[in-house]
A and B are shown apart, each in its own frame.
Chain A
């Protein structure tokens, strides 16, 4: 488990991470979410001792990272898949890691197979790797020492959709076997699917944390997207009840909670083909919570 306690890191007048505290539990995937430059990477760098904290501390499994002997055997780290000598082959990069950790050479083959890098690909030099291949190699490197804690910074970056699904399954299985996983991302959807627990960070501060239900509990749904076989009839019925209706794509947007729309449809015996919340759910929440830290200001009423 990872325990971040009151962590602050400043660079001169700039505060990269501001009094951040959270816990990553074993057996769970924790998503670390925030816009670019929110402090995710700095937090992770402090975790593994590459950056000294200004205040606060991080323990992994009850220990400071620098107190863990042969840390590769306990904590798997992927901070930047490109941060390897470009002139080394994929296999050589894993071999160096395995030798440092004192692992047999067979472990390298196991890991290459696990991340589906072929023999030929493993013989190529890193400078000839695509970003997706680098990420696979980086994940293989993080898993080399069979660690019980995984710290991954933007691991899905550059993976194709099949690769992202593969990684999701891999990390889910890893957590199900009792491992602790912390992965960061700036893409909400990526994290939403896989993470049991989410930590939202913006401008160095934690703005929200919890699982999906807890995060959404505070927000109430006030609009609905609905499509039916007879949209005109549905629109009339809804307007008769006093709800504002506007056409949206193939269906309608109604300014009321989905349950009310369903009730009207049931009364009128209208067949619905699609009924869902018109709010962006987590994404709206995410953008709202981090709005003052976003570089772009969203235009009013922009589609989620």
Chain B
């Protein structure tokens, strides 16, 4: 196609696509380069440290195991990680920089993928830091039970963090507005399980149904007991996850791919 010599023809042969790795790197940077993003990330880690220290002093001797310290860190992360992801996605519309982001990379699915991968990178970084905080908590509390159940690490820590990144992603793409998405997230994560809990207490029938349709409730076995959901519990995670994660995610991503950034 180099035979074309019409004036103003642009030869693209020498130009590479923007590699996905570079898009991910830029998205990670964008999550941390504003005051809001940076201090929120710092606050999450600081909050984990504070909770670990309190636990180190407050817990009884036999409870001060590394496993418990880790579980607490995972629970705190699960609450706040999604908000970091929400801000990363919704700011494109709320702060209007999507105009530039999607002009520099008009292939939107690549930007969406880059944002999701950036969310995972941030989640892993925060998890590693939290594990360090858990170790600090152990040292402060002079705990000596360092053994860790692999199921806890995988189910209670890694899997739940990935799920929370996805939840943040789904709510963010669906609402595309920072305050609305954060309110929506807390409604989903705090109000919804409370309401379901009340209904469950009133009705046995609903109590049986709840874990099948409410994602927070269904995930409880990931953090409790032997950190290993039974077959039925996995099925509950799958059905409620389909309702609260897969469906919103599909609609949200469809929206992000089509929305006209103004």
Residues of A whose CB lies within 8 Å of any CB of B are 1, 25-26, 45, 48-51, 60-63, 65-74, 77, 79-80, 82-88, 92, 96-97, 99-102, 141, 148-149, 180
C-alpha spacing A300/B104, complex, angstroms: 48
C-alpha spacing A192/B146, complex, angstroms: 76
How many chain B residues touch A (Cβ–Cβ < 8 Å)? 36
The answer to whether the Cβ of B103 comes within 8 Å of any Cβ in the partner chain is yes
Q: Are B104 and A101 in contact (CB under 8 A)?
A: yes
Q: Are A66 and B107 in contact (CB under 8 A)?
A: yes
The answer to whether the Cβ of B6 comes within 8 Å of any Cβ in the partner chain is yes
The answer to whether the Cβ of B100 comes within 8 Å of any Cβ in the partner chain is yes
The answer to whether the Cβ of B26 comes within 8 Å of any Cβ in the partner chain is yes
Q: Are B26 and A100 in contact (CB under 8 A)?
A: yes
Residues of chain B within 8 A of A87, CB atoms compared: 34-36, 95
Given contacts A65-B106, A83-B97, contact A100 B18 (CB under 8 A): yes
Q: In this complex, which of B7, B30, B100 has the most chain A Cβ atoms within 10 angstroms of its Cβ?
A: B100
Q: In this complex, which of A65, A66, A88, A97 has the most chain B Cβ atoms within 10 angstroms of its Cβ?
A: A88
Q: Are A71 and B33 in contact (CB under 8 A)?
A: no
Given contacts A62-B6, A99-B22, A101-B18, contact A48 B107 (CB under 8 A): no
Given contacts A70-B15, A100-B105, contact A79 B26 (CB under 8 A): no
Residues of B whose CB lies within 8 Å of any CB of A are 4, 6-10, 12, 15-18, 22-23, 25-26, 29-30, 33-36, 91, 95-100, 102-107, 260-261
Tally the A-B contacts, defined by beta carbons under 8 Å: 110
Q: Are B8 and A82 in contact (CB under 8 A)?
A: no
Q: Are A92 and B10 in contact (CB under 8 A)?
A: no
C-alpha spacing A148/B8, complex, angstroms: 9
Q: Are B18 and A83 in contact (CB under 8 A)?
A: no
Given contacts A72-B104, A74-B12, A86-B95, contact A25 B18 (CB under 8 A): no
Q: Are B29 and A99 in contact (CB under 8 A)?
A: yes
Look across to chain B and name the residue whose beta carbon is closest to the beta carbon of A64.
B106
Chosen A-B contacts, 26 in total, with CB atoms closer than 8 Å, are A1-B8, A1-B9, A26-B8, A45-B260, A48-B106, A49-B103, A50-B99, A62-B6, A66-B106, A67-B12, A70-B15, A70-B16, A72-B103, A80-B96, A80-B99, A82-B96, A85-B30, A85-B97, A86-B95, A87-B36, A96-B26, A96-B29, A99-B22, A99-B26, A100-B104, A102-B18
Q: In this complex, which of A60, A77, A86, A96 has the most chain B Cβ atoms within 10 angstroms of its Cβ?
A: A96
List 7 additional A-B contacts (Cβ < 8 Å) besides A61-B10, A62-B9: A45-B260, A48-B106, A61-B8, A83-B100, A84-B95, A85-B30, A101-B18
Given contacts A50-B99, A69-B16, contact A102 B10 (CB under 8 A): no
Residues of chain A within 8 A of B16, CB atoms compared: 69-70, 102
C-alpha spacing A80/B96, complex, angstroms: 9
Q: In this complex, which of A26, A61, A100, A101 has the most chain B Cβ atoms within 10 angstroms of its Cβ?
A: A100
Q: Are A50 and B10 in contact (CB under 8 A)?
A: no
Pick the 4 closest A-B CB pairs, nearest first: A1-B8, A61-B10, A87-B34, A83-B96
C-alpha spacing A100/B25, complex, angstroms: 9
Q: Are B4 and A48 in contact (CB under 8 A)?
A: no
Select which of A62, A77, A96, A97 is within 8 A of B10 by beta carbon. A62
C-alpha spacing A66/B25, complex, angstroms: 22
Look across to chain A and name the residue whose beta carbon is closest to the beta carbon of B34.
A87
Given contacts A50-B99, A50-B103, A83-B99, contact A69 B6 (CB under 8 A): no
C-alpha spacing A35/B102, complex, angstroms: 27
Q: Are A102 and B22 in contact (CB under 8 A)?
A: yes
C-alpha spacing A80/B99, complex, angstroms: 8
